[in-house]
A and B are shown apart, each in its own frame.
Chain A
Amino acid sequence: MGRVVVTGMGIITAIGNNVAENFDSLISCKHGVGPISYLETSHKGEIPAAEIKLSNAELAARSGITEPDFYTRTTLFGLIAAQQAFDSGISRYDIKDNKRTALVSSTTVGGMDKTEKYYHDYLESDRYSRFVQTHNCSDSSMKICDHLGLRHTNITISTACSSSLNAIMFGARLIRHGLADRVIAGGTDALSKFTLNGFNTLMILDHEHCRPMDAGRKGLNLGEGAAYIVLESAEEASKHNKEILCELSGYANANDAYHQTASSPDGFGPYLAMKGALDMSGLKADQISYINAHGTGTDNNDLTEGLAIDKIFAPNIPPVSSTKPYTGHTLAAAGVVETIFSILAIKHQLLFPNLNFRQRIEEHNFEPIKNLQEAEINHVVTNSFGFGGNDSSLVLSKY
């Protein structure tokens, strides 16, 4: 199989509106979790979240959108992050022919922010009917294509919190099958009342700053954001003398097949995902230099993810951290956000800390990274696990 590499990236999260700002926050331990101010919810002041500190009008202005009302917040994030990825991996190299550039995007609730606002109106009259289709998950994908002038394959995936890792995987396969020269892959999700209340009724939201992989963890903080990477074959990248950010050396998708929301007691799905990605990469477990964990901060996820890590990597468990205390859990975008953080770890040879860690989880044989540290990083595993038992992992390698 041909080698697939990453040549561009773009990101917007609560810790920064581009790659450089996100990196600065990561190395200065500056997180984005705080009181809710943009989302209109009665839980303001009670539940914290990692919001992007820009209004929809400000977001629209950044993309030159003149009719902001017609764009959901999910779409506005997507436009910004995808444009950055496009600029850094495609237009920077003066590539103008995008006939074979595909978009593989993902989202969990699509344009739920507009749906929440107009739902009762939709049922009563046609006054706001023009927004009905912004609900669809593909709305953001199509508007990104319009914005970037893409008219090739245009895919939207939704597998809850593992969505964007599956988008990256699908993009890599499109390239390997010769169905696209380049793929912009990632995901986008805005905070909504729907998801905030959903996670709240499940009683898995920490009302303070979350503490993944810690014995005293009390749940997750929701975040919002979008991120995209540019994928292509190593040959295509070298043809244009591109800077190669990393190689995508392994990937796998598995299903826990246990419960719609809870993971199996020993994390069998997460084990299969990590094992599958490692097997594809041809690497041995002890060659992995860093694991960017899914690490949401919920009781169930962190316990079982740690057990699965233990099963594969013990006794030489590589440094592990969850970066979710920085960004919150950005749902569909989480996988690609953390892929970019993993790429930054490889690029700068730095391990990012797992903020708020105090005490090891009793059943775990490892403690996560406490402080920013330099390290030789050649291969990184990044995980995303979701509702429905949808578990995915990638192996990213220094090129």
Chain B
Amino acid sequence: MEAYIRGIGNISPQNSWDNAVFPGEMVLYEGNRLKCIEPDYKEFIKPIQMRRMSRTLKMGVSAAGRCLRDAGIEAPDAIIVGTGLGMMQDTEKFLNAILDNDEKFLTPTSFIQSTHNTVGAHIAVMLKCNKYNLTYVHENISFEEALLDSLMRIKEDPSEKILLAGIDELTDEYFTITDNAGFWKKDIEGNSELLKHSSSGSIAGEGAIFFVVSGEEHPGNYARFAGVDTFYKPLSDDETESFIREFISSRGLEFQDIDLLITGMNGDNEGDNVYRRIQEKMFPGTPTAYYKHLCGEYYTSSAFASWLGAMIIKTGSYPESIIINGLRPEGAVNNILIYNQTNNTNHALTLLSTC
């Protein structure tokens, strides 16, 4: 199962909107929260529509529009979205209204827009796209599930052009809730210091990242998704290792074919130790990277890793700050393995290769 990446639209805390500027200067943030650099939405949304749209929806619709334009297509054959939390802003608004007014004086708008499938649905309405439409909502592997569906569809019909997304917004309330719950580091200077703190927690982030993927070769293709797989709660590191080994070998590759390993290290001591153990044992000579200092931690941040990997393969360049083991890729980067796990619970592997 594989698919070419034909178009990209990325709204993130970095300067990712212009696909021509890569890697660009790293955008620095103070404290433990990274926010998306938002584009001018007017390019994609009429002012009259904008008024009722939440920030997630605005980011999603704009990134989708940008992505389709980049791919040179008007409407996709499927819209497949991964989102860990869905529409938090509208959910909070309706929930607060219920709790504050004892279930009285409610209006339906925020409820209507609170369902997890709202981004995919809204894009379908805007594009008048009656085709396949699905939303995956599984914490840190929501994007990989959407990718798995996309790769199955491309295998079923290689001519399909699929709009694939990973999107999550960090609202002020959800930041407060998760900050109270100890998700985020308390005394970090900023994102550039993420791996220098030996403590629990990470830094918060968000993003709206869209890809057009297709089974067809095309001169503008960035890279190729060459596989994705997930597994749940390994009983030991041995099981994790055999899962990774099987994933690589079943794609006809050897360990030395992996030119870059991108990990989801996020500064949380316990979680990062899982990556460290696997990296040291299985990939001691492989250049190894991380990316969550660039986009922050959020459920679909692995979509940012896929964007990063695709851009590295396409341009042959990479941001200096991502390398964590001192080893740098030499020559062409042909295969990138993205390893994403949280709390040793949901694990996912994604393979990106040259076209």
Bitwise, A186-229 to B at CB < 8 A (1) or not (0) is 00000001100110111000000000000000000000000000
Q: Which residues of A contact B (CB under 8 A)?
A: 41-43, 107-108, 110, 115-116, 119-120, 122-126, 129-130, 132-133, 136-138, 141-142, 145-146, 150-160, 166, 170, 173-174, 177, 179, 193-194, 197-198, 200-202, 253-261, 268-269, 272, 386-390
8 Å CB contact of A260 from B112, B135, B142: B112
Tell me if B138 and A156 are in contact (CB < 8 A).
yes
| 15 A-B residue pairs with CB within 8 Å | A108-B116, A115-B95, A116-B98, A136-B139, A138-B137, A138-B346, A153-B230, A154-B232, A157-B137, A194-B95, A202-B112, A257-B124, A260-B118, A260-B122, A390-B117
Contact A198 B177 (CB under 8 A): no
Contact at B108–A388, with CB atoms within 8 Å?
Answer: no
**A155 touching B136 by the CB < 8 A rule?**
yes
CB-CB nearest in chain A for B183: A132
* Contact yes or no, B111 A202, CB < 8 A: yes
Q: Choose among A145, A254, A388 the residue that contacts B115 (Cβ–Cβ < 8 A).
A: A388
Query: A259 contacts B230, CB within 8 Å?
Result: no
- Chain A residue numbers with a CB within 8 Å of B85 are 136
Check B157 for interface membership: any CB of A closer than 8 A: no
A177/B130 in contact, CB under 8 A: no
Are A159 and B135 in contact (CB-based, < 8 A)? Answer: yes
| B128 located at the interface, meaning its Cβ lies under 8 Å from any Cβ of chain A in the complex | yes
Which chain B residue lies CB-closest to A199?
Answer: B111
The answer to whether A159 touches B108, judged by C-beta atoms less than 8 angstroms apart, is: no
Determine how close the nearest CB of chain A comes to the CB of B99; give it in whole angstroms: 6
Instruction: Contact check, B116 vs A261: say whether CB atoms are below 8 A apart.
Output: no
Residue of B102, B108, B142, B345 with most partner-chain A CB within 10 A: B108
Chain A: CB-nearest residue to B127: A257
Residues of B within 8 A of A177 (CB): 1, 152, 155
A-B pairs, top 10 by smallest CB distance, nearest first, are A388-B121, A198-B111, A129-B181, A158-B116, A137-B137, A255-B133, A201-B108, A156-B138, A138-B138, A388-B117
Q: Which residue of B lies closest to A254 (CB)?
A: B130
Q: Do A259 and B136 touch (CB < 8 A)? A: no
Q: Chain B residue with minimal CB distance to A138?
A: B138
Within the complex, the shortest CB–CB distance from A323 to chain B, in Å, comes to 23
Check A258 against B125 for contact (C-beta < 8 Å). Answer: yes
The verdict on B308 contacting chain A, using a C-beta distance below 8 Å, is: no
Give the Cβ gap from B307 to chain A, nearest Cβ, in Å. 23
Using known A-B contacts A142-B232, A154-B346, A158-B137, determine if residue A202 contacts B108 with beta carbons closer than 8 Å: yes
CB distance from B281 to the nearest CB of A (A): 21
Determine the distance from Cα of A261 to Cα of B233 in the docked complex, in whole angstroms: 38
List the count of A-B residue pairs having beta carbons below 8 Å apart: 192
- Determine the distance from Cα of A110 to Cα of B299 in the docked complex, in whole angstroms: 16
Chain B residues near A388 (CB-CB < 8 A): 115, 117-118, 120-122, 124, 133
Do A255 and B233 touch across chains, with their CB atoms under 8 A apart? no
With known contacts A42-B102, A151-B234, A201-B108, A160–B115 Cβ distance under 8 A:
yes
A201–B111 contact, CB under 8 A? yes
Question: Contact residue range for chain B?
Answer: 35 or more
User: Which of these, A146, A253, A256, contacts B134 with CB under 8 Å?
Assistant: A253
Q: In the assembly, what is the distance between CA of A132 and CA of B155, in Å?
A: 38
With A156-B136, A173-B152, A260-B112 known to touch, is A201 a contact of B106 (CB < 8 Å)?
Answer: yes
Give chain B residues whose Cβ lies under 8 Å from the Cβ of A123: 173, 176-177, 180
Question: Apart from A145-B233, A197-B94, what are 7 other A-B pairs with CB-CB below 8 Å?
Answer: A129-B180, A155-B145, A159-B134, A177-B1, A197-B111, A198-B111, A254-B133
> With a CB–CB cut-off of 8 A, which chain A residues contact B117?
158-160, 386-388, 390
B355 contacts partner chain A, Cβ-Cβ < 8 Å: no
Known: A150-B232, A193-B98, A389-B124. A201 touches B107 (CB 8 A): yes
Within 8 Å of chain A (Cβ to Cβ): is B273? no
Please indicate the chain A residues that have their CB under 8 angstroms from the CB of B113 in the complex.
260
The smallest beta-carbon distance between A235 and chain B, in angstroms, is 20
User: Complex: how many Å from CA A151 to CA B234?
Assistant: 7
The residues of A that contact B99 with a CB separation of less than 8 Å are 116, 119-120
301-343 of chain B: CB within 8 A of chain A: none
A200 contact set on B, CB distance < 8 A: 106
Q: Are B98 and A256 in contact (CB under 8 A)?
A: no
| B114 on the A face (CB < 8 A) | yes
- Please determine whether A136 and B84 come into contact, CB atoms closer than 8 angstroms: yes
B112 touches A157 (CB 8 A): no
Give chain A nearest CB distance to B148 CB in angstroms: 8
Find out whether the CB atom of B130 lies under 8 angstroms from the CB atom of A269.
yes
CB distance from B114 to the nearest CB of A (A): 7
Instruction: Say yes or no: A255 contacts B121, CB within 8 Å.
Output: yes
Q: Which residues of B contact A141 (CB under 8 A)?
A: 138
In the assembled complex, the Cα of A11 lies from the Cα of B330 at a distance in Å of 56
Residues of A within 8 A of B180 (CB): 122-126, 129
Q: Which of A126, A170, A257 contacts B125 (CB 8 A)?
A: A257
The answer to whether A198 and B135 have CB atoms under 8 Å apart is no
Given A159-B134, A390-B133, answer yes or no on A151-B125 (Cβ-Cβ < 8 Å): no
B145 contacts across to A, CB distance below 8 A: 155-156
Closest to B78 in A: A253
List B contacts of A133 (CB < 8 A).
139
Supposing A386-B117, A390-B117 touch, asked if A142 and B95 sit within 8 A by C-beta, the answer is no
Q: B112 contacts which of A138, A269, A387 (Cβ < 8 Å)?
A: A387
Taking the closest CB of chain A, its distance from the CB of B274, in whole angstroms, is 16
Please measure, in the bound complex, the distance between the C-alpha atom of A387 and the C-alpha atom of B111, giving whole angstroms. Answer: 11
Give 1 or 0 for each of B15-31: 1 = CB within 8 Å of chain A CB.
00000000000000000
Alpha-carbon separation in the docked complex, A194 to B111 (Å): 8
Q: Is B41 interfacial (CB 8 A cutoff)?
A: no
Q: What are the residues of chain B within 8 A of A110 when measuring CB–CB?
A: 137
Tell me which residues across on chain A come within 8 A of B130, comparing CB atoms: 254-257, 268-269, 272
* B230, A154: Cβ atoms closer than 8 Å: yes
Minimum CB–CB distance from B206 to chain A (whole Å) comes to: 16
- Residue pair A158, B152 in contact (C-beta under 8 Å): no
Task: Specify which chain A residues have a CB less than 8 angstroms from the CB of B152 in the assembled complex.
Answer: 173-174, 177, 179
Query: In the bound complex, how far is the Cα of B176 from the Cα of A272, in angstroms?
Result: 43
Q: How far is the CA of A156 from the CA of B79 in the complex (A)?
A: 17
Complex Cα distance, B79 from A389, in Å, reads: 13
| Chain A hits for B91, CB < 8 A | 194
Could you say which of B86, B122, B178 contacts A132, with CB atoms under 8 Å apart?
A: B178
| Cβ contacts under 8 Å, B234 to chain A | 151
Please indicate the chain B residues that have their CB under 8 angstroms from the CB of A129 in the complex: 177, 180-182
Asked if B132 is at the interface (CB within 8 A of a chain A CB), the reply is yes
**Nearest-CB residue, chain A, relative to B116:** A158
Q: A108-B116, A123-B173, A152-B232 are in contact. Are A259 and B133 (CB under 8 A)?
A: no
A159 to B181, CA, bound (A): 29
